[in-house]
Structure 1
Amino acid sequence: MAMHFDITDFRLFINIAETSSLTRGAERSFLSVPATSNRIKNLEDNLGMKLLERSAQGVTLTNAGKTYLQHARIILAQLEMLTGDLQEFAVGLKGQFRLLANTTAITEYLPPVVGEYLKTHPDVHIDLRERLSDDIVRSVRDGSAELGVVSGSVVTDGLQSVLLVSSRLMVIAPLGHPVLERREVFFKEALQYAFVSLLEGSAINVFLSRAASALHIPMTIRVQVASQDAIFRMVEAGAGIAVVPHACYTRLKGQQQIGACTLLDPWALRTFQLCAQDFDGLPTFAREFANSLVEYHRPALTDAPPA
């Protein structure tokens, strides 16, 4: 059964319900009583059910009428919010864009730029989400995200992209751990030890699991934690070794009793690119963010130590 709804009917019904009277509801709605009665009759006929019970004392709502009233109030409130929000967009006060990135980009390369941008654009919202690089490319390509930061050799055909930074992955371990006896190791050598990692499903976790599978060597994960900071604490405590970006190691090593060695695998030197369907076609506020991100990382295009 097709049901047709009208904003005027919503407002009229709310006024009738609040006054318990067709007459007073009509007055509030600036309608005549006959016009009001006709609208309610047409509404009930359209829905195929009675919404009001009429009596000498006024009107009362049926159960269906109570449900209609509840949703009428919700819909009108949402419409008012929509109108207000769209007016702000129309005069350039607000904006929103979706930015997708992997774990490393979110923790190491985006925070300073995102923070500064939001300070200078208080009415712009960035919908930042963590995704794998292949998923990011698909989302930018199909238009469900305006911008994406991807890493590795992911194919970005059909998109515009610009290099942000290159970063080498490092193995970290507590001081004295056998893996630190050499300054450089291959991933297959590190896989003989137990690992501390981010939670299952995180981009870097999936990336490393795939690398281990390609070597046909199981990756033993002893502990999974929610942040890079927690990884460092667990590694220092002897729970295992971990693979982290060089930028992360530089930021978090501090005074902790942790050492690091470089991963020599070709895939361990990862490039990060910012991609979009068309940078010039982005909304002004999104294009300004993209420019800020590129300019911020231009002075230090690589944070990778010598391989």
Structure 2
Amino acid sequence: MHFDLADLRLFIHIGESPSLTQGARRAFLSPAAASARIKALEAQLDTRLLYRDSRGVELTPAGHNLLTHARLIMRQVDYLKAEFTRFGTDSAGHIRIFANTTAVTEFLPEVLAGFLAERPGVTVDLQERLSRDIVRGVLDGSSDMGIIAGPVEASGLQVMRFSTDRLVLIVPAGHELAGRRQVTLKQTLAYQHIGLHDGSTLLTFLRDHVERMGQSLALRIQMSSFEAICRMVEAGVGIGIIPESAALRHSRTMNLVTIALDESWAIRERSILVRELDALPGTVRALIATLMPDDAPVQAV
């Protein structure tokens, strides 16, 4: 059985698009030519890959399976190209990262700024995703590496823990909780919260814990960043739960009070997820080395 790499890349474009026409456009083909290639691929595999109707296309179960394998194959092809680029093994290439809210907004911008300044031939696609989507993305090859906080529930991944993420409560000066050394999540639910936008990993994480208690999180307003949350809290609009690193940084310029959360889940290990570290191109390994402490272990799950 022979697979044409151009056909696999076309199938990825179609599988990630709402219609065959849009997928064909991404592959710089006419819809008729793209359709003929996909039909030939179905004939070779002797199975149907797409459901076609007036609304567009949808992958069959076999199509989903092929999409996973095609992504992995094309990523390996990209890795091969990156390894033999004239810039060297870690000076050029493209890195795709799925990460949680804290990583995207707090520490990755600074890390990537220094990393990319030293490597003008490197480009990065950084996307904020929920933890389950980060794990899935690394497993199916959509992402070269993932960054999450908390336990990893997946098999077939290598996990590298590199730092600790602690969640804290912030309140405005003069708030009735301001004199407390620590509080539970339940004790905060009597007050209106300032939260992150829907789809953020932190808000989803907090809502899950609140729902397990049979209660709801009263959100007065949702913001797009930890800095914006801190400004709202300082103005007395509500209280918020954010990473300690963000609370300490913004407390230098804002009148905020930080209170420890008396919850076991408030302290979370940050981890880098990859399928196989040694199989990654030098560019990705170099970025991971930048994030990792020298003595950090690699754990398979």
TM-score range, shorter chain: 0.5 to 0.7
- Of 280, 289, 294, the match for 1:282: 280
- Of 66, 73, 85, the match for 1:91: 85
**Is the 8 Å Cα contact of residues 195 and 203 (structure 2) preserved in structure 1?**
yes
Partner of 1:109: helix, strand, or coil?
helix
CA distance in 2, matches of 1:279, 1:199: 33
Matched residue type, 2:218:
T
Aligned to 1:226: 224
**Is the 8 Å Cα contact of residues 183 and 261 (structure 2) preserved in structure 1?**
yes
**Is the 8 Å Cα contact of residues 172 and 255 (structure 2) preserved in structure 1?**
yes
Partner of 2:110: helix, strand, or coil?
helix
Please state which structure has a larger fraction of its residues in helix.
1
Partner of 2:190: helix, strand, or coil?
coil
Matched residue type, 2:266:
A
Structure 2: runs of 5 or more not aligned: 1-77, 297-301
Per the normalisation by structure 2, the TM-score is: 0.67
Structure 1 position 297, deviation (Å): 10
Offset from partner CA, 1:163-212 (integer Å, 9 cap, x none) = 11112100001011122231111101011100111111111111111111
Aligned to 2:43: none
CA distance in 2, matches of 1:212, 1:175: 25
Offset from partner CA, 1:212-237 (integer Å, 9 cap, x none) = 11111111000111111111111000
Partner of 1:154: helix, strand, or coil?
coil
Structure 1 position 154, deviation (Å): 2.6
Aligned to 2:138: 140
RMSD over aligned Cα atoms: 2.0
User: Pairwise mapping of residues 116-195 of structure 1 onto structure 2 (< 5 A)?
Assistant: 116-195=114-193
Structure 1 position 150, deviation (Å): 1.3
Fraction of identical pairs, as percent? 36
Aligned to 1:210: 208
CA 1:283–1:205: 2 relative to 1, 3 Å: same
CA distance in 2, matches of 1:165, 1:292: 13
CA distance in 1, matches of 2:144, 2:290: 15
Structure 1: runs of 5 or more not aligned: 1-84, 299-307
Offset from partner CA, 1:87-140 (integer Å, 9 cap, x none) = x95534441021111001122232222111100111111111101111111110
Aligned to 1:108: 106
Structure 1 position 296, deviation (Å): 8.5
Aligned to 1:81: none
Moved over 4 A (4+): none
CA distance in 1, matches of 2:294, 2:101: 19
Structure 1 position 286, deviation (Å): 0.7
CA distance in 2, matches of 1:262, 1:285: 38
Larger Rg: 1
